[in-house]
Structure 1
Amino acid sequence: MGATAGAVWGRAEQQDFRSRVRGTLLGVAVGDALGSPVDGLGLAEIREEYGAEGLLDLGRGYGRRGAVSHLTQLTLFSVDGLIRAQVRRDTGAWHPPTDLHRAYRRWAATQRDWGPDERRKDDGWLAREEWLYARRDPTRALLLGLGDDTMGTLDVPKNPGETGPEAAARSAPFGLLVGWEPQLVVQLAVECAAQTHGGPVGYLSAGAYAVIVHALACGESLDGAVQRALALLAPRPGHEPVSEGLQHALGAVRQGIPTPARVEELIGDGTAAGLVSAAVYCALVGEDVRQGLCLAVNHDGPSAATAALTGGLLGALHGETALPPAWLAELEGRPTLLELADDFAMEMTQGPALHGPAGASPGWLARYPRA
């Protein structure tokens, strides 16, 4: 794998990129926080609890408003792993899937430990964030896939029958590798998804979602981004459910006023392919971010994952300033999300100044150790 090297970033380009990085990560988290309180509820139950229009504002989940689930936790560790991979590139031992697996194993430790272990100096700063040491309904596939040091690969994937959306929902950060060629973004997302979701629907949905985010972060339209994903999926064995779902989402846009029934039809049996297609639909038809996210939440399917996927798309498309400020104000972990987003943007635009041949920043290497 490789990335476009030697790119020169102007100030305006850096500012736009940082806004899209922030928007993507905050969008995932806001969607997750909006959907988590009603995850597992049917539409009738949501309306009974929140009124005829359903859930239109942050509710209480995990004991507070604005709380996030394991989907946001894992997205943060995706970012951490990508930064660590870039830092390790200087050593010549560069294999991003391995760095991502190590990052996900650090997340797995937060699900079983009481708090940070200060003796693990190589864990970096994110693993020392105490608020992440909260078990937020991680799925069995995640806990099994990351339960030991053996890394799943496309040749020998973990959970080979798993088709759930969790791998796709943590894959938005791969799309923020805007200096990479799209086919490499797909490949990295697919390889990392196979560490927990070894069914083709599970890992190819992650690749499709990542490359859609990638196109949006590069300034393309959402429709054009989906067309790019379809072209890159076509040669891959087992792509048909994912491709058909995306095509169905594009066709549904022309079928009139958005309804929960249309979202549910796209979600289907709740595989990653269905949720990614539903998220694309919600992002396409929502008049603004708030409406798109509310559409992604109010239906009979999985609300948190659908809204998290939708939020990542809308954040990459519009940047952070398009997200509802009142929701951001109550979002759990917002300082951590912003700090990590800005670190990612700085690494991707100015990495050589932080750890290049001319010298290294000790503070940066303490945050993102090469070990």
Structure 2
Amino acid sequence: MVNMDSGTIYIEKKLRGYLFGTACADALGRPVELLTLEQIKEKYGEQGILEVPSDAFWTDDTQLMLVLARGLLRGAELELPELMDNIAEELVLWLDEPDLGAGATTKGAALSLKDGIHWSNSGLDSKTCGSLMRVGILGFIFSNDPEKLIKAASLSGRITHTHPTADAASIAGAYAVKLALDGVAPKDMFLPLLQVTEGISEEFTEALKGSYELAYSNLSDEEAIPKIGQGWYADETFALAYFCILRSPDNYKKAIQTAVNITGDSDSVASVAGGILGARLGIEAVPASWIESLKEKEKLEEMVKPLLEKYFQVSGMK
């Protein structure tokens, strides 16, 4: 049982910030994921989509983050091979959940797991963002054990995506949440993120550098974002999310509005950015009206207590 002292309350606010920050950003991006920026403006006005619709649902991004979270609840304290066994089992169970738009790579890997292929051989050589979008929860649970965090992010990502670019992005996605919990400002995340992904993927390294440079350039968001990409591939997804939080490091709402109003993978870019900023700024930064608009917010709420207990269990073993 978690004793709710001031330190625990602080961590709980960060956890809620991560969970609801991810889901609300995902829900804001869902209606516009397949639209160009021009189409978004035609539908929602010159500023684009700005508010989460009522009774909004998230996509596979949040759904798969919760799958990973359930795997962690079953054994984050275990050695990594046993933890990956649990995560693989949760991915198989996920196949029976509603299809919220998961990509072919994740589905294909999960079907391979269901057919009995071991998790170490189930991944596909894909650099799409399916492994990145779910890994932020690892950055929370293992925030006090960076070595295990990095290895877990890599291994869990490779269950579905084995491409080096996806691998680097998965590590960065989880590590950025750890840095956020540590109170590191987005601009100061740059060098640590370069260091933990060094030598894995030149493509990812260049995307990360480009994101940082463009964020501090004189270009507008609309001018800079297309130079990074559309976010369908993991390096672009993370780079776009990082660009948005660099531009609005203390303003969750503005960062997410920037992230969704793009030509590209709006929900994935936003959910990655939302998780990182939510973990950094806490639940107070996420608009209450957005949280209220989530159709199944109780699914997130019921994860708070067990994840908080798992965080302290794992941290206490260090």
Name the TM-score, length of structure 1 as normaliser: 0.78
Which residue number in structure 1 is paired with residue 71 of structure 2? 81
| Equivalent AA in structure 2 for residue 341 of structure 1 | V
Which residue number in structure 1 is paired with residue 175 of structure 2? 211
Is the CA contact 1:249–1:278 (under 8 Å) kept in the aligned structure 2?
A: yes
Is the CA contact 2:142–2:314 (under 8 Å) kept in the aligned structure 1?
A: no
**1:53-101 alpha-carbon deviations (Å, 9 max, x no partner):** 1111124xxxx642111111111111111111137x4xx8972222111
Is the CA contact 1:275–1:305 (under 8 Å) kept in the aligned structure 2?
A: yes
Moved more, 78-87 or 253-262: 253-262
Q: Could you tell me how far 1:13 is from its partner in structure 2?
A: 2.1
How far apart are the structure 1 equivalents of 2:313 and 2:83? 19
**In the alignment, does 2:119 pair up with 1:152?**
yes
How far apart are the structure 1 equivalents of 2:189 and 2:273? 14
Indicate the structure (1 or 2) with the bigger Cα radius of gyration.
Answer: 1
Is the CA contact 2:25–2:271 (under 8 Å) kept in the aligned structure 1?
A: yes
C-alpha spacing 1:197/1:325, structure 2 compared with 1 (3 Å)? same
How far apart are the structure 2 equivalents of 1:135 and 1:78? 16
**1:114-163 alpha-carbon deviations (Å, 9 max, x no partner):** xxxxxxxxxxxxxxxxxxxx22112111111001232333xx45112x11
SS for the counterpart of 1:86 is coil
Is the CA contact 2:244–2:258 (under 8 Å) kept in the aligned structure 1?
A: yes
SS for the counterpart of 1:41 is coil
C-alpha spacing 1:216/1:18, structure 2 compared with 1 (3 Å)? same
- Structure 2: give runs of 5+ residues left out of the alignment: none
Which residue number in structure 2 is paired with residue 36 of structure 1? 30
Report the aligned-residue RMSD: 2.4
Which residue number in structure 2 is paired with residue 344 of structure 1? 307
**1:280-334 alpha-carbon deviations (Å, 9 max, x no partner):** 1101212511110010011111111111111111111101111011010011221
SS for the counterpart of 2:257 is helix
Which residue number in structure 2 is paired with residue 301 of structure 1? 264
Of 34, 44, 55, 1:50 maps to 44
Is the CA contact 2:17–2:279 (under 8 Å) kept in the aligned structure 1?
A: yes
Which residue number in structure 2 is paired with residue 326 of structure 1? 289
How far apart are the structure 2 equivalents of 1:193 and 1:244? 20
C-alpha spacing 1:45/1:224, structure 2 compared with 1 (3 Å)? same
| Equivalent AA in structure 1 for residue 76 of structure 2 | Q
Name the TM-score, length of structure 2 as normaliser: 0.91
Which residue number in structure 1 is paired with residue 90 of structure 2? 103
Of 12, 16, 37, 2:10 maps to 16
SS for the counterpart of 1:332 is coil
How far apart are the structure 2 equivalents of 1:141 and 1:106? 16
Is the CA contact 1:260–1:298 (under 8 Å) kept in the aligned structure 2?
A: no
C-alpha spacing 1:176/1:352, structure 2 compared with 1 (3 Å)? closer
Moved more, 311-320 or 96-105: 96-105
- Structure 1: give runs of 5+ residues left out of the alignment: 1-7, 111-133, 357-371
Of 53, 57, 61, 1:71 maps to 61
Higher helix share: 2
Q: Within 5 A, what are the aligned runs for 1:1-371?
A: 11-59=5-53, 65-86=55-76, 89=78, 95-110=82-97, 134-147=98-111, 148=114, 149-153=116-120, 156=121, 158-160=123-125, 162-236=126-200, 239-256=201-218, 258-267=220-229, 270-286=232-248, 288-350=251-313
Is the CA contact 1:141–1:196 (under 8 Å) kept in the aligned structure 2?
A: yes
